[in-house]
Amino acid sequence: MANGPNYKVKFRRRREGKTNYYRRYTYVVNRADRVVVRITGKHVVVQFMRFNPKGDLTLTAAHSKELVKYGWKGDENNSSACYLVGYLAGLRAKKAGITTANADIGLFSPTKGARIFYALKGVVDSGVKVPLGEIGIDNNRLVGKHIAEYAKKLEQEDQEKFKVIFSRYLSRGLNPRDLPSHFEEVLNSIKSGGK
């Protein structure tokens, strides 16, 4: 570790790799609401935040655990789930009077076609304006056709491996080949406000 009379210890969250203070500074100076997307190993969280000197305020939020209320039986952090959570958060933001927001993806390196952009596309499709460039969204991946095609192929080739890989889908009562139609059902359920 460097030392000497001119060495300054970086902030703790910077040392831990949790906060990019330069990017955070630009959000604070702009005073714009921001849509924060975080993807964990199991879930997706989309929040609308507003800067406050005492600590950021969470205006609205949506979590992938909530998708069960709308009938979702698929994984809770795949591309389809990211879109649905973003769409749900966007509807809640519109209800709270938020019409525009800046995208805050944290320390994530923006990669074309990443799941984080599926969540942002859900926010945009719900009616909230988020300035985005070319994000490389594949509509087949959005509705889960890639999963359905893989499941169909795997079921024909190796039945045991199919049951192991898609055990969570099957235990919830969803055949992964039906994921695209299931996605549309859940999206319509979110649009109509639940069951």
For 31-45, how does the pLDDT look when each residue is reduced to its tens digit (9 = 90+)?
889 999 999 999 999
Q: Go through the chain and tell me how many residues it has.
A: 195
For 62-82, how does the pLDDT look when each residue is reduced to its tens digit (9 = 90+)?
999 999 999 999 999 999 999
In 51-95 the beta strands, taken as DSSP E runs, fall at 57-63
Q: Rounded mean pLDDT of 147-166?
A: 94
Q: Is the distance from CB of 149 to CB of 142 less than 8 angstroms?
A: no
pLDDT greater than 50 at residue 10: yes
Contacts of residue 65, defined as CB under 8 A and 6 or more positions apart, other chains included, come to 43, 76
Position 133 scores a pLDDT of 82
For 87-115, how does the pLDDT look when each residue is reduced to its tens digit (9 = 90+)?
999 999 999 999 999 999 888 888 888 99
pTM: 0.89
Going from N- to C-terminal start, the domains of the chain cover: 17-191
Is the domain defined by 17-191 classed in CATH 3.30.390.50?
A: no
Crossing angle (nearest 10°) for helices 115-125 and 79-95: 40
Position 195 scores a pLDDT of 40
Position 119 scores a pLDDT of 96
Please provide the average confidence, as pLDDT, over all residues in the chain: 91
